[in-house]
Amino acid sequence: MPAHAMVTSTREAQLEAEQTKDTWAMNRFGHSGRLDFTAISQPWLREGMKRWALHDLIRRRGEEVTTALRAHVAAIAGLSESLRIHRTDRGLVIRELGRHDIEMFLQRLAYLEHCDRISELSRALSCRKAHHALRQMRLLGLTRSGGPLSGLPDDFALRREDIPRRPDLQPPSRALPPEILAQLCDALPLLRTRAPKVLATAIELLIDTGRRPNEILNLSWDCLGRDHDDKYVLVYDDLKNNRPGRRLPITKATAELISAQQRDTQNRFPDIKPSALLLLPSDDPEPNGKHPMGRHKIGRTHRRWLTALPSPLLRSDGSIFDLTTITPYSYRHTYAQRHADAGVPLDVLAELMGHELLSSTQAYYQIGEKRRRAAVDRLANHQFDRHGNHLWRDTQALLDDEHARHILGHVSVPYGTCQEPTNVQAGGGACPFRFRCVGCDHFHTDPSHLPELKAYLHDLLRDRERVLATTNLEDWARTEALPSEEEIRRMKELVHKVEEHLDQLNPAEQADIAAAVSAVRRTRQITNLGMPSIKRQADLRAGLEKP
């Protein structure tokens, strides 16, 4: 028998042997930790859970597999304990079970919550996971003749109405405040001097893209792509949900970071075809460029970087931010939060995060005022370009990745939003065209900016009269200072078209838009959707320190 066949045969024998045990070493299945079924005392129920867990292992990816399975095993262990307590046969006679036993299980959970032995959330999750596990065991055919659950009555099952409503809790946000993220980005040069370049690059990519750490570590060498508009995208595999070839719009700065790492990796492994390499290969003693770094190396490097910061991270109110709460995964929550704060619609944000369920995306960010979020979504249907043309119909027609690109590449400016790349990267503070918004195709606006548009038009008219009235300017200086008639005309036309659009709405729609505008204007902030510019932050502080 060939050597590779003998190795395969031995591995299969080890897996089969592990499945017969009541406590599994999860490294046999490619995961970490242990999975203990011993708390399930009924042999039929324990064997059924082992069969389901084995089937579920095939579907799951990522580093939280063992934790997820433990939660389901614990829920079924609670059901097992209820049968053991309330039945004279201790739940061993499978054909005698029925709806009454399910109700006793539900009553027991309610009693434990009443006695403060479990929380309201734990009760809801136990019911949900027990319902899922029992249903999946039936769907796998384990109740058929010869199966471990053979003879289990149909009414031994949880119904949807049995599951208590999950409490509407607002857990502490794991997203970093904007000022903390900006300070961390200012400290990236320190990271680059203290850590190997490949690890520093990995952490920068986590900050910039919001991907999971294992997704960054497993990036292929040729992960940098372009869409049909020649814009940069990151091509990565969603390992957790087994969705390969995902495409994420990224900024030019991120693309340059990846390009530099591609050159380093290729120089390190000149004899290996680039398509066979990883972008961030392991530095093992015998590297071949095809194995990823361990996640623990990122975690260790990240902790050392934070510990080495020369000064504490300060919140906007001057208080010190707790460094122990910052982990590599914090940047994924931060990515979601800053896009949600900027008004990115939920479906687009889910696409950016790589989530199939909108509820998964909602768990990644918090909205201090739900009305504000709804207001932003309503105003998204009333966007205008610099000519006053209504844009939402065009935006709706975009494909998912094009729509994500359309939203991602914007930054707030005083009179609307801008998608000029240089200005986006600088957080709206570095327009190469001296903020001539109404003459620039990168500029869009909506009714919430109407007061600023009118105020700017008023300033233009006032400045024109002031310059024309003065006698202390030379002709060239007067020409430079005089607002152009074309800019004034364009501003008048834009204001007129936005007002005309609002006038065409019915009274109910006008009231709805007015409420949305009020909510958005109360909480508006300039938000940078790319990585905060280190140079820009330093320049701002230098300006504040000048006398």
Region of 105 please: left (phi>0), alpha (psi -120 to 50) or beta: alpha
Residue given tokens 């109360």 in the structure block: 522
pLDDT at 31 over 70: yes
Mean pLDDT for the stretch of residues 491-511: 86
pLDDT of residue 541: 38
Strand partners of residue 25: 34
pTM of the model: 0.51
pLDDT at 417 over 70: yes
Burial of 151: CB neighbours in 10 Å, binned 0-12, 13-18, 19+: middle
pLDDT at 388 over 80: no
Sign of CA dihedral 411, 412, 418, 422: negative
How far is residue 198's CA from residue 293's CA, in Å, rounded to a whole number? 10
Confidence of residue 379 (pLDDT cuts 50, 70, 90): low
Confidence of residue 543 (pLDDT cuts 50, 70, 90): very low
Mean pLDDT for the stretch of residues 145-154: 93
Confidence of residue 102 (pLDDT cuts 50, 70, 90): very high
| SS3 readout for 327-368 | CCCHHHHHHHHHHHHCCCCHHHHHHHHCCCCHHHHHCCCCCC
Mean pLDDT for the stretch of residues 32-43: 92
Residue given tokens 């340059």 in the structure block: 256
How far is residue 245's CA from residue 32's CA, in Å, rounded to a whole number? 26
pLDDT of residue 305: 96
Mean pLDDT (the chain) is: 82
pLDDT of residue 255: 94
How far is residue 54's CA from residue 133's CA, in Å, rounded to a whole number? 12
pLDDT of residue 216: 94
- All structural domains of the chain: 17-162 (no CATH), 178-333 (1.10.443.10), 370-522 (no CATH)
From the list 205, 206, 216, the residue with the least C-alpha distance to 238 is 216
Q: Which of 98-102, 299-303, 359-363, 540-544 has the lowest mean pLDDT?
A: 540-544
Q: Which of 25-39, 86-100, 376-390 has the lowest mean pLDDT?
A: 376-390
Strand order in the sheet with 243-249: 224-226, 232-238, 243-249
pLDDT at 372 over 70: no
Q: Count how many residues are written for the chain.
A: 547
Do residues 221 and 264 lie in contact, with contact meaning Cβ atoms separated by under 8 Å? no
Sign of CA dihedral 216, 217, 221, 222: negative
Query: Torsion angle of alpha carbons 339, 345, 346, 351, nearest 10°?
Result: -80
Confidence of residue 168 (pLDDT cuts 50, 70, 90): low
Q: Which tens digits make up the pLDDT trace of 532-542?
A: 433 333 343 33
pLDDT of residue 378: 66
Provide the residue type at 244 as one letter: P
Of the CA atoms within 13 Å of residue 104, those in its CB half-sphere come to 16
pLDDT of residue 369: 43
Q: Which tens digits make up the pLDDT trace of 257-297?
A: 999 999 999 999 998 898 889 999 987 766 788 888 888 89
pLDDT of residue 65: 82
Mean pLDDT for the stretch of residues 383-387: 74
Q: Which tens digits make up the pLDDT trace of 319-345?
A: 999 999 999 999 999 998 888 877 677
From the list 378, 439, 451, the residue with the least C-alpha distance to 415 is 451
Mean pLDDT for the stretch of residues 489-514: 85
Instruction: Return the structure tokens found at 24.
Output: 């599994």
Our CA angle for 53, 56, 60, nearest 5°, is: 130
Mean pLDDT for the stretch of residues 338-364: 80
pLDDT of residue 450: 85
Provide the residue type at 419 as one letter: Q
Greatest extent of the chain over all pairs of C-alpha atoms, in Å: 105
- Cα-Cα end-to-end distance for the chain: 82
Quick one: what percent of the chain has pLDDT higher than 70? 82
Per DSSP, the three-state class of 274 is: helix
How far is residue 431's CA from residue 436's CA, in Å, rounded to a whole number? 9
From the list 244, 241, 246, the residue with the least C-alpha distance to 60 is 241
Q: Which tens digits make up the pLDDT trace of 58-73?
A: 776 656 788 889 999 9
Instruction: Return the structure tokens found at 451.
Output: 């007061």
Backbone Cα Rg of the chain: 30
DSSP calls for 21-52:
SSEEEGGGGT--SEEE-TT--SHHHHHHHHHH
Q: Which of 93-97, 210-214, 219-223, 405-409 has the lowest mean pLDDT?
A: 405-409
Mean pLDDT for the stretch of residues 3-18: 65
Residues 6+ apart with CB under 8 A from 495: 450, 453, 454, 457
Q: Which tens digits make up the pLDDT trace of 425-439?
A: 666 667 787 777 888
pLDDT of residue 429: 66
pLDDT of residue 130: 95
Residues 6+ apart with CB under 8 A from 241: 61, 354, 356
Quick one: what percent of the chain has pLDDT higher than 90? 39
pLDDT of residue 477: 87
Q: Which tens digits make up the pLDDT trace of 503-540?
A: 888 888 888 787 777 666 655 543 333 444 333 333 43
